Amino acid sequence: MLAHSAELKSTDEVEVIQVRGIRGSVVKSLNTKRYSNAIVDAVTAEDIGKFPDQNVAESLQRITGVSISRNFGEGERVSIRGTSESQNRTLLNGQAVGSADWWTNSAANRGFNYTMLPSEIVSGLEVYKSPEADIDEGSIGGTVIVRTRKPLDLDANNISTISDVKGLSLLTSLEKLDLSGNNITDIKGLENLINLRMLDLMSNQIEDIKELDK
């Protein structure tokens, strides 16, 4: 009897089939590399948001062959394949950009200061380590192509600011509020945001947050 019940139990067991998915951003990055004729790596906006990085330069550092220089602990300029930072080019939506440092004798060069580029406006990054006919010449190490978001890429009810925040009491329908990394010192009007579900105040200088308790 015991043998018969054990046999029935073994036949009733269901085979477990485990399916693992891959994030769409990973698939998009892999396809960019797979179907390109050049040596290229890609980082999508979702990847940038998931990385614990302070800016775009630090996200680029995760790509093989890319290193960065830091200023006050924050990633600033990009070096590709061991070349000087001034020997790489950055294209912003297809247009070449360059920047000089803050000191007087610093001249403009092909390098780019990524601390001036907020990650919130970036939709994707591509790093080309070999020349392409459709990419402007001028880089020895490689070329970074930065693509920004289009106006309709973002969800509704999103705002961004670079100063003290006032007048939030008028935005009663706001559901998401991302004010991270803006050096905000004062914020008022949160008590009227009855529909607010997500609030991000990281990397600011707010001293008094009593309104969050209302």
To the question of domain 155-214 being in CATH 3.40.50.300, the answer is: no
Residue 211 has φ and ψ, to the nearest 5°, of: -65, -20
The structural domains of the chain, with segments of one domain joined by +, span 24-152, 155-214
The tokens describing 75, both together, are: 């990633």
- Under CATH, which number does the domain 24-152 receive? 2.170.130.10
Whole-model pTM? 0.57
What pairing do the DSSP bridges indicate for beta strands 74-80 and 89-92? unpaired
Per-residue pLDDT of 101-144, as tens digits, reads: 665 566 667 788 888 887 777 888 889 988 888 888 878 888 99
Q: Which residues in the chain land under pLDDT 70?
A: 1-26, 28-29, 46-53, 100-108, 153-214
What pairing do the DSSP bridges indicate for beta strands 176-178 and 198-200? parallel
